[in-house]
Amino acid sequence: MKLEGNYFQIDALHMGAAHGVFYLRLLPGCDVYRGHFPGNPVCPGVCHIEMLRECVMKLVGVKVFISSVKQCRLTAVSDPLSCSELKLTVSLEKTDEGYAVSALLEDEEKTYMEYRGSMAVDL
């Protein structure tokens, strides 16, 4: 399932040569929250990672897949009701297979995810 447009939307994007800053809005009506958890929606960490992958594809203009995760720290619980607006900062370094990716997902008060890993071009 593609998460953009269902789980989140991009409100603004600032792109550079090897980085991007995404201003994101979580969409509380997404089906994900019906099961995770009814009446008390919590953002699944795997959805944060997929959201990152979809944003990286916007930056590089090609389909990528996660080839390795060196570090992924989910440092706080997020939910679409109390922290619906997030900032995702992504730094990229070109590699032979694709990209080394570093990312930080946060709002004004908390950091929700720190990520370092590799994403390869999906041929």
* 36 part of a folded domain: yes
* 57 part of a folded domain: yes
Instruction: Please tell me the predicted confidence (pLDDT) of residue 17.
Output: 87
Q: What is the DSSP string of 20-50?
A: EEEEEEE-TTSTHHHHS-TTS----HHHHHH
* 65 part of a folded domain: yes
* 16 part of a folded domain: yes
* 3 part of a folded domain: no
- DSSP H stretches of helix in 36-101: 45-60
* 1 part of a folded domain: no
Separation CA 86–CA 84 (nearest Å): 6
63: domain CATH number is 3.10.129.10
Instruction: Please tell me the predicted confidence (pLDDT) of residue 69.
Output: 98
* 40 part of a folded domain: yes
Beta-sheet pairing, 19-26 with 85-94: antiparallel
Q: Which residues are registered as beta bridge partners of 23? A: 12, 87
Mean pLDDT by 10 residues, the chain (123 residues): 94 96 95 80 94 98 98 95 94 97 97 98 90
* 15 part of a folded domain: yes
Tally of structural domains, the chain: 1
Instruction: Please tell me the predicted confidence (pLDDT) of residue 123.
Output: 82
Query: pTM of this prediction?
Result: 0.94
Fill in the amino acid letter for 106: E
Nearest CA to 47 out of 21, 20, 16, 24 is that of 24
Fill in the amino acid letter for 53: R
User: How many C-beta neighbours within 10 Å does residue 82 have?
Assistant: 10
Instruction: Please tell me the predicted confidence (pLDDT) of residue 1.
Output: 77
Q: Which domain covers residue 111, as residue numbers?
A: 8-121
Instruction: Please tell me the predicted confidence (pLDDT) of residue 121.
Output: 96
Instruction: Please tell me the predicted confidence (pLDDT) of residue 16.
Output: 93
